[in-house]
Structure 1
């Protein structure tokens, strides 16, 4: 039965509320489900979804994933990122945390099912205080649907002063061999005072039917902590995603994010950074290298709520075939956020007459002592640079690939995990070699 049918969603929600006895989760889910019933799935009339017709996905016969299903070991091995044996690995299968497949190698790192964390006296109050805060900023029905069906989620805790040197790989695996699946992974990450963590999210689908991942990750960064976040989207053409990464800097801290979108179906990334303490610093980078009919929508938000914060944002797009790119970036500067420095830039190259991009950088400033700027560009390859390379004996295809790789390197170079950076570079070099030949 299609997920667009309200009776089906109501039935699944009622069953989940009956099965799960935790009062905190039941209350959070109930409020979210009421929001979902009021707002529904956004259409093109919703300004935030104007260029991404997510309502079309909800007409497909997806099934809400409830329990962990099996995944072939061979597929898991093929999906693993380079140097996975030297990383912490957390695995979701059809949106449900699978502890048996996960491997937490850093002893300081605490990883618990959300339900267990809420019943643990050590972490219960922390989870209650921070779970669901993203709903204060994202009020649409897609986000509410994820919160309505929190089940099989995970809580990640980094203790005070803990420096987690090994990267933390989060794999989202979808098994659609039997039927189309709507997976809704949920996670809460808390990085304590003077601690550090690097998270990498990766997505893979096995099966010929469609997958739809509707994910929410909430991250809390405490005083003097450091957080690096990387997202790699290189899934099959029948894989669709709506991902929300909501980062709150509750103490003076440092955040660094890179989102690389290479392949997939319809993809939407919400990346929010909420600066809740004076002196916060954040860097946001994104690259979307699109071909075929892939649709990638990057929505970013930086909310400067306190003074003396700094943010720098650069998103770049290379679009070929009949692909579509969307960039919508918002920077808020609250009245009390004096001395804010905030910069935002979106640059795009169109390689095909059928490719398109919609870009909308935005500033909303309510303070008078700030330095803020934004801008966007959409164009073709530099013909003069191409001519220069050709005049030096480089053939047209190689010259074109060299220029595109140079354009992308501004973002790729911001990936501080060497094995991941080299892996993404290899994918991009191979893609460009094929596209420009």
Structure 2
């Protein structure tokens, strides 16, 4: 265990690097340290400082003494799914309920099946690649359509281990279809750093959905990286619902590497208290005839803070590209803050691209209209906010999961706002 001081957080985190860890990733950390607000990509999210203030020491989190009952309690109501259980970030085969026709294996740090390069060197991504003990490799064979979603259930507890590093690779062969749902459940109210990474490859004519719910305890610190390589005639859809936590950073990268690709990114963040959520997205169009759609919406109350930074790259060879990006926000208090920055970088000339953002307050005239028809103010606000947020949820494919998210959103809007 290494005690943190403000002068040695880099050394403290480097001390968790696995002996057989990725040496290139460790070198990134040594050269760059961990980001502060002086780093452009973390200008509005000083998670390094927050870690220093909340966590007293670092070591790799150890598996908990979990039972099948703990898993059952954390399950999403009415969701019929295969379950891959992570115990404090490490795969637990005995607690998992796996389907047939695809492979789930443990992978040590020195056995990484592949590595997707992000658009920039991020020290937290590098830390994940260098420090995890055992990752999970899911392989879906050619022509396989999973008839159930796969729930990636991570049960976490600070305990004596403060650094939780789940690592997942998913390799989808040609003509495959699958839905993955990631959920992290806090087992106590203590602070921890969850530093996760998911890398996904989709071969030709694959159709993959990856959904994530962030509804942890109010002390949780989280950095997540989702990196994808998307090939010919494939579609990839990501969705993230962010509700609770102290500070959360989501990095999502979609690399559209061939013609006929489609990448979709949807996000909804409903923030109260002092919760801080930062969504950084990258879409890289490299070949002709590809499409991307991005819609993120946020509702912020109290002293919460949201950050959205969306980048779309259209390379010179990526003619006939369609790329659309939108970020909309509602602020419910004078102390709530949103920093939003949609970006387009286009080197091709035959494209259709647009981006935009809006920030405003609740429509008081619409609220007055509802009150005039017998709906009390609190319920009226919840209805208007749900109308604003609800269209993001319409992109969810699994009905039981969609109903679960709708219930979470309605409860959040009805009680916290």
TM-score, normalized by length of structure 2? Answer: 0.94
Q: Give matches, 1:388-407, under 5 Å.
A: 388-407=369-388
- In the comparison of the two structures, how many residue pairs are matched? 411
**8 Å contact 2:67–2:95 — kept in the other structure?**
no
Q: Is the partner of 1:394 in helix, strand or coil?
A: coil
Are 2:132 and 1:150 equivalent residues in the alignment? yes
Pairing 1:250-261 to 2, within 5 Å after superposition: 250-261=231-242
Which residue is 1:77 aligned to? 72
C-alpha separation in 2, matches of 1:8 and 1:292: 30
CA RMSD of the aligned region, Å? 1.8
**Residues 212-255 of structure 1, C-alpha deviations (whole Å, 9 max, x = no match):** 11001000011000001111111110111101111110332011
The 5 A counterparts of 1:290-301 are 290-301=271-282
Q: Structure 1 residues 381 and 10, CA, compared in 2 at 3 Å: closer, same or farther?
A: closer
1:8 Cα deviation from its structure 2 partner:
4.3
CA distance in 1, matches of 2:125, 2:40: 16
CA distance in 2, matches of 1:96, 1:57: 25
**C-alpha separation between the residues in 1 aligned to 2:11 and 2:209?**
41
Matched, 1:351 2:332: yes
Unaligned runs of 5+ residues in structure 2 are: none
Give the match for residue 197 of structure 2.
216
1:249-293: CA deviation from partner (whole Å, max 9, x where unpaired): 033201122111011110011111100001111221110011111
Correspondence for 1:364: 345
Q: Is the Cα–Cα contact under 8 Å of residues 332 and 365 in structure 1 kept in the other structure?
A: yes
Listed one character per residue, the Cα deviations across residues 338-379 of structure 1 (whole Å, up to 9, x for unaligned) are 111000000000111111100000000011111100000000
1:96/1:254 Cα in 2 relative to 1: closer, same or farther (>3 Å)?
same
| Structure 1 unmatched runs, 5+ | 21-25, 119-126
Comparing 356-365 with 252-261, greater Cα deviation is found at 252-261
Instruction: Give the match for residue 2 of structure 1.
Output: 3
Residues in 2 aligned to 1:284 and 1:83: alpha-carbon distance in whole angstroms: 25
Structure 1 position 6, deviation (Å) = 4.8
Q: Hey, what's the Cα distance between the residues in 1 that align with 2:413 and 2:191?
A: 27
CA–CA separation in structure 2 for the residues paired with 1:62 and 1:78: 30
Alignment CA distance shift 1:116-1:303 (3 Å)? closer
Correspondence for 1:111 among 95, 104, 117: 104
Does structure 1 residue 342 correspond to structure 2 residue 319? no
1:294–1:223 distance in 2 versus 1, CA, 3 Å: same
Greater helix share, structure number: 1
Aligned to 1:97: 91
